[in-house]
Amino acid sequence: MKTRTRTRTLVAAALVLGVVSGPAVAAHAAGTPAAVAAATDGRVRAAGAQAPLFSSPPDAAALERAIAGLGADHPEATAALVRVGGTSGSWKGSSGVADVRSGRGAIEDARFRAGSVTKTFTAAVVLQLAAEGRLDLDRPVQEYLPGLLPGGPGGFEPVSVRQLLNYTSGLRSADGPGDAFADEYAHRFDVVDPRALIANAAAKGPESRPGEKQHYSNIHYTVLGVLIEKVTGTTYEKAVSQRILRPLGLRDTSFPARTQTRIPGPHNHGYQAVPQPGGGSSLVDVTEWNSSSNWAAGDLISTTADLERFTVALFGGKVVPRPQLEEMFTVPDVQDAETGEHAVQTAGLKEFRLPGGAVVYGKTGARFGYNTVIGGSRDLSRTLVYSVNSTDAKGRDMNKVAMGIVGAAFAK
């Protein structure tokens, strides 16, 4: 399938900011929450007076190579949608097929499951509430949600809201149907209550003391989803919609209903490669799936255009006020519980160190059939959003197509 791309060089930051300034200013006039209304004069302030991290346009040829040849016979992915932006220039491309049976080309503006990119939206709402004085990041979540994490012998010490945001709460993960794809596929239409997940995790007791180690898992953000509902007095979905989706005009972004299994609107199918007894593998369509078990940690549905708009607005201080935004660029000084290395997760984002030492921030997401990334440099000289229809989206190793996209997007 032929790769479809479009290259365009931007000569001013204003062209990048145009995708967000309108909705944010309109939101301010409409009296929306203070955090989203924090747009000032429509300009991104770079970190200090330093030169931009990226000053040359993205390498179009390298990006085209990264997504070339995708489809039913590709060993890694059936499709990819990519948007590279920033003050240094932009590039947009797509490749592959929307459906391996028909072979029709990938839909460029397709909706997809964004997985754990949802956590960035959840963290943004929590930080908005902190900016409004409705939440104290240092206050124990047990004071907001009594009985959710019981104390006493063998129970939980006070867990702060900040420790939930940066995965240092010490909570254990909730049990699922199993680790193998076959187990999860058999339960793909199950409807799961998030409070039941929290109860399951809490019954195991703490894994470590709060603030001692970082252990990335969904349970932290499942608790934060319940916290958002308690503080706002509305559903998690409505809170995110009212505070982020509507003000920014993210019209193709949504949260599925509890029993919803389909992706609304145009979308590319997702597939999982399943090994066969005689060798080789076959593709199983995993597009329809109930994502209630992921909820505030991973059930967002979006597009690359919407996620680019959100990323630029977020990094530019238009979603979360800058004092609270620093939480999203601050890595706690602890070790990772699994690797023993220094932590890399922040409140809703992750720190990535590029070859040469440059630092960018972003968030990955993985749902069967779909790998997603949002991120960029803090100065917004380079941003990246992609959706890759990986055939092993939850594999331990990073998808090779996605790895090629990241390497090409952030090459200097």
pLDDT of residue 356: 85
pLDDT of residue 58: 97
Q: How many CB atoms lie within 10 A of CB 186?
A: 12
Rounded Cα–Cα distance for residues 327 and 6 (Å):
35
pTM of the full structure: 0.89
Instruction: Return contacts of 346-351, CB within 8 angstroms, 24+ apart.
Output: 346/166, 347/123, 347/126, 347/127, 347/162, 347/165, 347/166, 348/119, 348/120, 348/121, 348/122, 348/123, 348/124, 348/127, 348/165, 349/120, 349/123, 349/375
**Amino acid found at 137:** L
All structural domains of the chain, each given as residue ranges with its CATH number in brackets, are: 4-409 (3.40.710.10)
> Which residues fall within 8 angstroms of residue 321, CB to CB, at 6 or more apart?
34, 35, 38, 128, 131
Q: Is 390 in the active site?
A: no
The string over 100-118, giving b where at least 16 C-beta atoms fall within 10 Å of a residue's C-beta and e elsewhere, is beeeebbbbebbbbbbbbb
> Of 90, 94, 95, 116, which residue is the catalytic one?
116
pLDDT along the chain (412 residues), means of 10: 42 30 31 35 44 96 98 97 98 98 97 98 98 98 96 92 98 93 96 97 96 98 98 98 98 97 98 92 97 97 98 98 98 97 98 92 98 98 98 92 96 90
